[in-house]
Structure 1
Amino acid sequence: MRLTLLSVALAYAEIRSIDAACRQLSVQFPNDLFFPNSSNYTAEQTAYWSETTVLTPNCVFRPANAAAVSAGLKIVSKNNSPFAVRSGGHMPVPGAASTDDGVLFAMSAINTKKLVNNNVAQLGPGQSWLTVYSWLSQYDLAVAGGRYAPVGVGGYLLGGGISYFGSEVGWGANNLVNVEVVLADGRIVNANATSNPDLFWALKGGSNNFGIVTRFDIKTFSVPHVYGGNLAYDHTQVSELVDATASFVAPGGGSDDNNAAIVPVVAISPATGAISGSLTMCYRGSDPNPAALANFTKIQAQSSDAGLRTFSDFMTLSSSQGTRGLRWLFRNTGVKVIPGSISLINETFTDYTLSNIKNIESVKGATVMTSIQPITVNWLKAAKAAGGEPIGLDPANGAFIASLVICQWDDASDDDTMNAYATGVVDAIAAAAKKAGADYPFVYLNDAAKGQEVFKYYGGGTSLAKLKAIQRTYDPNGVFKRLEASGFKL
């Protein structure tokens, strides 16, 4: 009885703290605080890529600038109110950037775009990468940003960031030169190589555990044109796609060319068991027939829109990929690049899925996919040369694959079923890799599922203690640890 009464009392106290925070925000920011049943509330509450992440905050705060974020953070902290922060809302982890209890900071109005000295882009967290690429296209410039149009600037960079240019410039976060961040006590500070350098290091992959970022300053580079596009394959060509991918990642293969990047996918329809393949490929430069991609272009694809175009036009092609409004799930594991590792991933995915298809064949709208994301030795060398980051992977350990499983489906009633499937198939891939000597202990944060341990693998196990110490330095009262909704706490 005592525990029940205590639980009720604590729940009531939390409700009061949330209500107080919402009321005070409404008084100070009457035009930027929205309650349920208003059109602005609904627009922000539902502005997520995956339906799994659409929750119901008590109120939505849409700050206009860093000063407003500071004032808002002071209010929620003073009232001990839970809160969440959303940039682009692409991560499909429930509660990573949304909340059922508390205040949602919707960063959509902080959408700065400014080019400094023709080599640094200052970006607000409210931007999508397609918007950024379209803007930079007029200067023939690009940045190491997301590979899909709707991905937001903020979460991508705080999670490290896989781009089409990684073999040349490392993780997206390695290209940051400065970050403007609001700390738990409301201070607005800059973090860079000389000012708050420990915080700067932590933000490049440490997620939203240290403050609310209101501006990212990231290096640009010249990309007038790329050769690239999307290709589709039927079930008879999947083996050719897998073989071409294996050749690409092998020593001496296309991945040795820093200008080349690929995203191959094998998909299975649980309802029919039908298997298909697809490929997105990108080559920086004006070569209409790059040798690094020859093993792919020689396959007679069922359809292809590959060609020379601006990088912005290439990225526009991804606008149709990954339909908004469905339920999505990512889960990934690391697999070392050795002879046979690509076949191992594909065969394990296919065998596990077909062997367990009765568990998911009745799931409405379901498709399951596996995607190969090569992280090359040159990528890891570039990351290290750029000053490093918490991810801290050693190039001496060789190239690896961030082996990703993607699930989509329609109904919330099937969430547990699809989560169980994803857990099972990724565990099977990890087990097969370990048995083959291809184990690579790493989970990429931006493609991780709820409950996956991410930070324990950073720096070969050495980064987590440092990240926690930095968090204590900049947030001694544990505001972000206690009150912020997050997919991945330290």
Structure 2
Amino acid sequence: MQLPCLLISLATAFLTLRPAGAATAVQPNVTATSKELTNSGSCCATLDYFLPEKVHYNSLTDLSYQTSILSYWSQQEQSLNPICIVIPTSSEDVSTAVFILDIAYKMSMSGCSFAIKSAGHTPQAGAANIEGGITIDLASLNQVIISSDQSIASIGPGNRWANVYTPLDALNLSMVGGRVSDVGVGGLMTGGGVSFFSGRYGFACDNVFNFEVVLASGAIVDANATSNPTLYRALKGGSNNLGVVTRFDVRLFQQGSFWGGTLTQAITEKQDVIDFISNFDHSATYDPYAALITNFVWDAGITLILSDVEYTKPTPYPPTFAPLFALPAVANTMRIAPLTSFTDEIALSSDSTTSEKSDLFTTMTFINSAIFMSELWDLVDATVTSLSNVTGLLFTLTFQPLPYVIYSKSAATGGNVLGLDRFTDDFVNALAVVSWALPTDDATVYAAVQQLFDTAAAKAKSMGVWNEFVYLNYAAPWQKPITGYGQANKNFLQNVSKSYDPDSLFQKAVPGGFKLATS
């Protein structure tokens, strides 16, 4: 029977494998006899024993299982069926689960590979869910604890941004975090994180002063500038490759209501809008309070331009946005409001809530060039035409400024592993968000979008504006964001992984996400 063997191995592991000093690692009760346990011999049964009422199975009567599956954003992730879903309510629960799964991995037990889910917004199948394995759903780790001096918030990875921002708004506080209410904290923070406040403070990951992390051994450790500093830097862009982050301690700052909203324009303004983006994206003149997301949307034969415009002061129509607002508009929701008002608006307009459609992200980075942006728009327009037979197609091409003045701020907090510190250019990030109704069209859309971005990369190289950085949080399954960090950062991540996860649990037993050896 596998289960008694697993119990023996657990007991042995506590005596011989648990790292010295890992006092906070949980120690499951290993004195139970096999008679007290189920005969199934599975990892799920073992987890169920040590984490009673926190392990859920695929049954119509198990609402926690069904709710977890339905909370994924994309149809691809919802289509997967883990054997069981573990919903921990504490870091110690996560430690117990990871410890058991690490022993099972060392014993080569089947059905014990696992996925780690924050909110499940990455669309590709297997990113945060798993077929025939175990999903650890962190949704219940959703604490938001504000320090007495209001300088620090401790937030759980299972939060969505609306849950974080609501109490902060009430206190006129904020943090560098996501711009869409329904997106999860865990994935965004460990993948980089672009914010309305990035012009002032850089990436979200650079504003975490401490990560609480469950390692492969089950140990719970802090990673910060003085404790586990290499792990600290690696987690700032390292995604799910190094452990399970169970708490982010983040810096807060004073922030009241500010000006922003969505500006909708006809596609006839395309070139003037592109020229505006290019002129806006210059470090020498960049206003640090300004943030811009410009979306070109193809939907059922209609093409529009929707710009999410934010200025993090209560200053209507600041000069930096004057050229954009001088152009004709179809609609305008500009107002002074709390942060949550704007993140809710983007969530609604971007259909970021749970859907039953197939979805795809794809991205690229290039040196600021209005000419290339126009070329990319033409390539997307041709691709959308070629996909006219795809049912329910919605295609959005988004341009986001990424000037040097934003990404260079990482150095002040010890740096990250994104690799942008190699450059001094003002960049633009391009993101394609594609959704469609029928899974039977998945292969067609994937092939067309991959060809589109291959062609775009070749065009960017020929124009001298291509850059290898691929933003992990937007990357398609075939893209290689870790490689895009540069060889030095990839080597660093691999060395940190070997140090903290010598048996490669998070590389081999957690197949989802972008792995260090292959991405």
**TM-score scaled by structure 2?**
0.87
Q: Per-residue CA shift, 1:448-486, capped at 9, x if unaligned?
A: 00021111121x431001100100110111111110132
Matching of residues 409-428 of structure 1 within 5 Å: 409-428=436-455
Instruction: Specify which of 11, 36, 41 is matched with residue 58 of structure 2.
Output: 36
Task: Give, in angstroms, the shift of residue 370 of structure 1.
Answer: 1.1
- For 1:168 and 1:93, the matched residues in 2 are separated by 32
Task: Give, in angstroms, the shift of residue 219 of structure 1.
Answer: 0.7
Contact 2:83 2:132 in 1 (8 A): yes
Contact 1:210 1:480 in 2 (8 A): yes
CA 1:188–1:356 in 2, change beyond 3 Å: closer, same or farther? closer
Instruction: Specify which of 210, 220, 228 is matched with residue 178 of structure 1.
Output: 210
Contact 2:282 2:403 in 1 (8 A): no
Contact 2:173 2:256 in 1 (8 A): yes
**Which residue of structure 1 lines up, in the alignment, with residue 73 of structure 2?**
49
What is the identity, as a one-letter code, of the residue corresponding to 1:40? Answer: S
Secondary structure of the structure 2 residue equivalent to 1:394: helix
Secondary structure of the structure 2 residue equivalent to 1:109: coil
Q: Does residue 191 in structure 1 map to residue 246 in structure 2? A: no
Identity of aligned residues (%): 31
Contact 1:20 1:79 in 2 (8 A): no
**Which residue of structure 2 lines up, in the alignment, with residue 408 of structure 1?**
435
Task: Give, in angstroms, the shift of residue 353 of structure 1.
Answer: 3.5
Matching of residues 253-402 of structure 1 within 5 Å: 253=285, 256-269=286-299, 272=301, 274-323=302-351, 324-325=354-355, 326-337=357-368, 341-350=369-378, 352-357=379-384, 359-394=386-421, 396-402=423-429
CA 1:18–1:228 in 2, change beyond 3 Å: closer, same or farther? farther
Q: Per-residue CA shift, 1:255-292, capped at 9, x if unaligned?
A: x10110100011224x53x3211100110111112111
- For 1:90 and 1:74, the matched residues in 2 are separated by 26
Task: Give, in angstroms, the shift of residue 238 of structure 1.
Answer: 2.6
- For 2:323 and 2:140, the matched residues in 1 are separated by 44
**Which residue of structure 2 lines up, in the alignment, with residue 9 of structure 1?**
none
Task: Give, in angstroms, the shift of residue 251 of structure 1.
Answer: 5.7
Q: Does residue 63 in structure 1 map to residue 88 in structure 2? A: yes
Count of equivalent residues: 466
What is the identity, as a one-letter code, of the residue corresponding to 1:90? Answer: H
What is the identity, as a one-letter code, of the residue corresponding to 2:456? Answer: I
Secondary structure of the structure 1 residue equivalent to 2:42: helix
**Which residue of structure 2 lines up, in the alignment, with residue 100 of structure 1?**
131
Deviates more, 1:423-432 or 1:33-42: 423-432
- For 1:99 and 1:300, the matched residues in 2 are separated by 48
Task: Give, in angstroms, the shift of residue 66 of structure 1.
Answer: 0.5
- For 1:122 and 1:155, the matched residues in 2 are separated by 16
CA 1:298–1:40 in 2, change beyond 3 Å: closer, same or farther? same
Deviates more, 1:243-252 or 1:324-333: 243-252
Contact 1:181 1:188 in 2 (8 A): yes
Contact 2:261 2:333 in 1 (8 A): yes
- For 2:384 and 2:197, the matched residues in 1 are separated by 37
**Which residue of structure 2 lines up, in the alignment, with residue 469 of structure 1?**
495
**Which residue of structure 2 lines up, in the alignment, with residue 4 of structure 1?**
none
- For 1:173 and 1:328, the matched residues in 2 are separated by 25
Contact 2:216 2:243 in 1 (8 A): yes
Q: Does residue 23 in structure 1 map to residue 49 in structure 2? A: no
CA 1:24–1:233 in 2, change beyond 3 Å: closer, same or farther? same
Secondary structure of the structure 1 residue equivalent to 2:120: coil
Matching of residues 146-185 of structure 1 within 5 Å: 146-185=178-217
- For 2:53 and 2:272, the matched residues in 1 are separated by 56
- For 1:476 and 1:278, the matched residues in 2 are separated by 47
Task: Give, in angstroms, the shift of residue 18 of structure 1.
Answer: 9.9
Task: Give, in angstroms, the shift of residue 392 of structure 1.
Answer: 2.8
**Which residue of structure 2 lines up, in the alignment, with residue 13 of structure 1?**
none
**Which residue of structure 1 lines up, in the alignment, with residue 276 of structure 2?**
244
Contact 1:113 1:122 in 2 (8 A): yes
Task: Give, in angstroms, the shift of residue 369 of structure 1.
Answer: 1.8
What is the identity, as a one-letter code, of the residue corresponding to 1:307? Answer: R
- For 2:40 and 2:210, the matched residues in 1 are separated by 33
Contact 1:228 1:308 in 2 (8 A): yes
CA 1:473–1:373 in 2, change beyond 3 Å: closer, same or farther? same
Matching of residues 200-211 of structure 1 within 5 Å: 200-211=232-243
Secondary structure of the structure 2 residue equivalent to 1:420: helix
Q: Per-residue CA shift, 1:72-110, capped at 9, x if unaligned?
A: 111222222100010011111221111002110000111
Secondary structure of the structure 2 residue equivalent to 1:286: coil
Secondary structure of the structure 2 residue equivalent to 1:397: coil
What is the identity, as a one-letter code, of the residue corresponding to 1:51? Answer: Q
Secondary structure of the structure 1 residue equivalent to 2:238: coil
Q: Does residue 221 in structure 1 map to residue 253 in structure 2? A: yes
CA RMSD of aligned residues (A): 1.8
Q: Does residue 109 in structure 1 map to residue 131 in structure 2? A: no
Secondary structure of the structure 1 residue equivalent to 2:498: helix
Contact 1:334 1:430 in 2 (8 A): no
**Which residue of structure 2 lines up, in the alignment, with residue 5 of structure 1?**
none
Instruction: Specify which of 137, 148, 155 is matched with residue 123 of structure 1.
Output: 155
- Point out where structure 1 has 5 or more consecutive residues left out of the alignment: 1-16
Task: Give, in angstroms, the shift of residue 396 of structure 1.
Answer: 4.7
Moved over 6 A (4+): none
